[in-house]
Structure formats: structure tokens, C-alpha cells
Amino acid sequence: MKNFKYLSDLNWDNLTLAIRTGKTYNYRELCQLLNLKVLGSGSNAQIKQLNELSMVCEYEKVNTKYKILSLRSQEEIALYQERAIFTPIIECALSETFLKLQQDKNNNIKDGILFFTMSMLMLWCGMVHKNYTFLRNGDNYKRIQRSSLISAKYQFDITDLYNFLDISYNKILKPIIRNALRAMDNKKSIIIQKGFKVYTHSIDKQITYKNILATDQEGQQIERIIANVYTEFGITNSQSFILSPKTTQRQIFDRCNELCNQQLGYDGFYDCYAVIINRYRTMYNLEHLQHTLNERIQDKLKDSQYLDFLTTHSKKQFIDTMINIDTIADFNNDFEEYYKLQFSS
């Protein structure tokens, strides 16, 4: 394979097969399947080999096993090749965040493991402004309600807004984070495990969260719930789920949460990362790192072909109000002020 040192004899047919079957393989089994050389664990050669593999496909590491999710598009490959621009900053920001949360005895840390979602890491690293996650997070009703109000106030095209939030997250921001975490895991600066955040709603509408590992007893039960619901909806693997219609994905989420409530007593759950940071502590200027990363993210979104469907004006509106961490816009406050006026009138 041209320009790749460690993938020259890669078996593409078996790589595609691994995506279709959704099976997991330990490192030796993966190498045998893909016709790759088995290299020393943790060696520089193995790190480079896994980085090259990450360049052509998206894979998930489940404890010590690998699960191939999908092949990368040409733009995703280009984005992966730019990981050196983003990874050091994300690594430093994650380290500093872990130290701060540990000192504050934050409930996102359990037994030395930091539990976090993509949205949490984006905010910690300064990749986006809180306005971005305000519109992306929450159930479908909340997202529609918030987006409608904010679009009216800021004169956004609501269809463009929905597409911007979906494409910028799935095609640009999420791959940047995954690539960075995978590179950090490959070189052993962190150890990535799969986790879940389960939650319950109290009578006064407060939400209580609990962090669990996928390998814990409750985590294994959640894995069984997901597998059973996939079967119920005819989903064969993770790639099949990703390609399914948004309405089907929402039905799957709702069904999983329903079974979680019946079997475990929680109102719902969602996936998260569970990370052990395995490195000597070095102090960094986190605020400077956040602004540096945020400027690079803004540039990436401005230049991305994925967002060419937007007018220059719309793109600038969305980046200025939802990505730029120095924006004066505050969607959450706008939302609360609107309802205060509604109830007072």
C-alpha cells in the first residue's frame, strides 16, 4: 500500500469482513486476519502500525480487543493526517482537567478513572463554546425547542443550523477527538476503557448520574440490552446503526432506556469514555491551550468541504456564536429569559 510502511500487505477483503461482522479481535488475531506483522507490545513500531491502521479505518478498542467500525473517507484520512495539530493540545488539556477535577474531588472521577463524553471533552479543551453543546445535547424535543427559539432570535436558517450541528460534530469534531485519544492510547499515555453514564430523575426534576465501566456487572447488563435491541431492530453492527435513519436511532435509544429502567432501575444511559491517565504530571497554561485549539478548530470548520452547503454568512454566524469560546452570545440565558417573559406576561 503506497506511503504506508506497516500496511503494505493489508488484506482489504478481511478488513471489510471485520466491519460487516462486528467481531472483536485481540492484537495477534487482528494481525493474522489483516495479514499484518505482529509487533512487540508498546513498541514504537506497533504504535506506528496502529496509527497507520487508524488512518484507513475507524476502530474501537474494547479493553485489549479491537473492533473495526468503518473505512475512512478521503477527507477523514486528510483529517487524521492532521492529528499532530490537535493531539498535543488535547492531551495537555485532558491532563490538566484530570488534575483539577481530582483536586476538586469531582464526581466524574471514580477510582482514579475519568469518565467523560465527547461534549464534555470539547468544552474542557476549548474546542467549542457552551452554546454548541446547549443545542446538541438533550432529548429530541429539547433540541428542537432550543434550536427554534435561538434561530428566531439570531435569524439563523434553522435547516442550516441542524445540518451544521450534525455535520460539524460527526464529520469534524468527533473524528478529531477520537483520533487524538486513539493516538494517546497507542503510545500508552492514556488507557481507554468503555464506560456508561446512567441517570435518574428525581421528583423535583434534578438529574443524578452514576459512572460505571462496561466490564462491571451493570455495564455488562447494559451491553446485553444494547445487543438485544440491535437484534430487535435488525441492526447487525455499529456501522449498520450509524447508517440507519435518525428516527430509527432515536427509537433504539428510547427502547434501550426503557429496558434499562425495567432491568436496572435507571431512567436511561449513554456511552462515555473511561480513561486512566498514565503519565508524569506537567503543568501547562490551560487557558492558552484552549484558545490555541479553539482557533484551529474555527479554521478547520471554515475550510471544511463538508460545510460547503452553507453560505459564508451562515457559516460565520454559527462559528462566531457556537464555536468561538470568546463569544458574548449565551443561548442558555436567552432561553431562560424567553420563558421568564412568557410566564410574567
Q: Are residues 168 and 289 located together in one domain of the fold?
A: yes
Each residue's pLDDT tens digit, 4-47: 778 888 898 999 899 888 889 999 999 999 999 998 887 878 88
Contact between residue 295 and residue 129 where contact means Cβ atoms under 8 Å apart = no
Same domain, 246 and 203: yes
Same domain flag for 23 and 170: no
pTM for the predicted model, two decimal places: 0.68
Q: Verify that 170 and 218 share a domain, yes or no.
A: yes
Q: Is residue 3 part of a domain?
A: no
Residues 177, 243, single domain; the answer is yes
Average pLDDT of the residues of the chain: 86
With respect to residue 186, please indicate whether it lies within any of the assigned structural domains: yes
Whether residue 31 is found in the same domain as residue 87? no
Model pLDDT for residues 257-296, shown as the tens digit of each residue: 999 999 999 999 999 999 887 655 344 566 777 888 899 8
Same domain, 65 and 103: no
Q: Per the domain annotation, does 6 fall within a domain? A: no
**Diameter of the chain by CA atoms?**
71
Residue 5 lies in a domain: no
Which is more confident, 90 or 317?
317
- Judge if 173 and 303 occupy the same domain: yes
Residues 42 and 95 in one domain: no
- One domain for residues 131 and 216: yes
pLDDT at 241 over 60: yes
The conformation of residue 9, written as its DSSP 8-state character, comes to T
> Where a domain ends, among 46, 71, 96?
71
Residue, of 237 and 245, whose pLDDT is higher: 245
Assess if residue 1 is contained within a domain.
Answer: no
4 is a domain residue: no
Q: How many domains does the chain have?
A: 2
Tell which of 71, 97, 121 closes a domain: 71
The beta-carbon contacts of 149-158 under 8 Å, at least 24 apart in sequence, are 149/334, 149/335, 149/338, 150/331, 150/334, 150/335, 153/334, 153/338, 154/317, 154/321, 154/329, 156/314, 156/317, 156/318, 157/314
Is the domain of 41 the same as that of 169?
no
Q: According to the per-residue pLDDT averaged within each range, which of 143-147, 189-193, 300-304, 320-324 is highest?
A: 320-324
Contacts of residue 150, defined as CB under 8 A and 6 or more positions apart, other chains included, come to 135, 156, 161, 331, 334, 335
Distance CA 174, CA 118 (A): 7
Domain boundary among 31, 49, 71: 71
Range with the largest mean pLDDT of 48-52, 186-190, 282-286: 48-52
- Domain of residue 24: give its range: 12-71
Report pLDDT for 281: 39
pLDDT at 282: 43
Percentage above 90 pLDDT, the chain:
43
pLDDT bracket for residue 1 (50, 70, 90): very low
Q: Is the pLDDT of residue 344 over 90?
A: no
Considering the domain architecture, whether residues 86 and 34 belong to the same structural domain is answered as: no
- What confidence tens digit (pLDDT) does each residue in 98-134 have? 777 777 778 888 888 889 999 998 998 889 999 999 9
The answer to whether residue 7 is domain-embedded is: no
